[in-house]
Structure 1
Amino acid sequence: MAGGLFALLDDVAALARIAAASVDDVGAAAARASAKAAGVVVDDTAVTPQYLHGSAAERELPIIKKIAIGSLRNKLLFILPAAVLLGQFLPWLLPVILIFGGGFLAYEGAHKVYEKFSGHGNEAEEAVTEQGEFTPEHEARTISQAVRTDFILSAEIMVIALKEVVGSDPDASIWMRAIVLAVVAVLITVLVYGVVALIVKMDDVGLHLAEKPSKGSQRLGLALVSAMPRLLSAISLIGTLAMLWVGGHILLVSLYEIGGHDGLLEGTGLGDALHAPYDLLHHWEEGVHDAVGGALGAVLGWLLNTVLSGVVGLVVGGLVLAVLHALGVGGGHGDEHADEHPDEHARGAVEDSPNP
């Protein structure tokens, strides 16, 4: 009886060790996959605060919470099952999906550049912020728009993470892949929207510190408050650059994979053509690295890759933007007619506002 009990305890201990090892494997795989998706994570973090511009201070955290819940729902209920099934049965389709996602990011970045230099798209924002804070209808539209944009970014993150899992362990079971992606989804969502919440509430923290009797706290609080406009401008710029860089890089790498070894068009003339651009870029990157040498050479090579990927993103995004404008569907984000009738938009904001 005692022998059977000890044998059972040994079995339980063995199972516990196996479970612990599996948890370690999941954690390590999730960490690697998250690191691979870091570029898109930066993009997601930089883009989200822009949706809060014009909202009341007390509504900022509730809006972030709703966007975060929508993002997690996107990842777990829609993207994860689709990504795992595609990775298991149609892996060649993953780079094709990434091409569409990279094109969307490039378009978003090019659209931001167009708005910056043309002045288009600013009238609707000014109408909302000058006439009052978000109406409930505007808040709902903003959350919906943010969740839609997040869907594309989340899909990029999950597919990139899946490719890392498959590449590092091709024999991993479909359940292991699903668990790793679920961990990545939760970690990335908490990280992105936790950072966003810290950013948008930094001015409130500054005001709280400015009211303290301590001179040091007051100086720190006033510095935080005065730094917020510059920080938000920097975040907007970083978000735009990240869209172009990440979008262009995803396009180049995905085309490379489609035309390269085991790719969809491997061995064909078109496959060679698709394979060539990233090959050339990688060759230039290695050339700079070898010519300069050391850590500086690695940094300069990475910068060359990043800048040229951003140029590719700007060119591709600009072409998509031009085509959409030519087709009459290239409006901005949010209210498609805001640029055409800014005065009407402003009057509507006043009439709908609960505190005109």
Structure 2
Amino acid sequence: MPALEIRALTAGYGKDPVLRGIDLTVTSGVTAILGSSGCGKTTLLRAVAGFVQPAAGTIDVAGTRVVGGGGGGGGRSVPARRRGIGYVPQEGALFPHLTVARNIAFGLPRGQRRNAGGVVAEALAMVELDPSLAARFPHQLSGGQQQRVALARALAPQPSLVLLDEPFSSLDAGLREETGRAVVRALRAADAAAVLVTHDQGEALSLADQVAVMAQGRFLQVAPPAEVYLEPADPQVASFIGHASLLPGEGDGAGRATCAVGELAVRPGHPGTAGPAGPAGPVQLAIRSEQVQIRTDGAGTPGEVVDVSFFGHDATVRLRLDSGEQLAARTPADSVPHPGEKVRLSVVGEVVAFAGQPGA
């Protein structure tokens, strides 16, 4: 049975709905809810946890209905403490006056807290922390260690579902990646499904088994990471995941399309959005930054460098074409052009094509 099943869920604050009739099934592994700030990610997590009462819809956790099933306004609701869900908030929320061991034991039923040494040791091992840390207080731990303790506390009662609300956002880049991978290993060791809320695309794509892209309280696409990236459901998903540039063009229905950068090989987006050889007629082309090659001379479409974002290992270059349209390119660190420089560009590989023009 699914660890989490949501159907037609509507929720919000006051009269303004934030979630608008969404569906989601989590069978196992990690599902990442990915979207920009204000799209409804945290509201969804809080509704599942029991901190927000939905206006309509149902929520089942491990086969037990915790929201809905009779009456109006979302029906009956099981109290948060009885849902059997582990919850890891953004900052960990450890009790500063309790040791690591007592923080972890706090997640257990009261009758089990006094003799919880074995459970604490097992939970620490699961999150890959040294048992000697059990006697420390939260302020004596690093940020990454604190987040792992918060996860250990959530896992100690052996829940079937764990909710993580942007748990790595306060960590630096290197520690964030290391902690994220340790958390996923711990979840798998505990055989617990998880819902991870994040606005970080790299985090969602690298850690999750399933990615649910959210915008304005609705899911635009729910699929494995590779499918979301390579077969986006619509132009909005394509531009959000990987920051693809969207250009209008004309498709020939035979795997080619013409746009401001010339004639390109195309493939349809999500299966069912067009024929196997791509759409015919007006199209929107999603061009990934890694597909755009820049050179300072020779053949290619002329353009001008608008600005450069340098990241050390590479750089993102924003370009303006003679047509006035813009697109982004990703270049190696040793070949970064300067703002205002005139360049030539070409596109390699197939680009994703969607039938219709913007706003159609």
| TM-score range relative to shorter protein | under 0.3
Name the structure with the higher strand share: 2
Name the structure with the higher helix share: 1
TM-score, with length taken from structure 1: 0.23
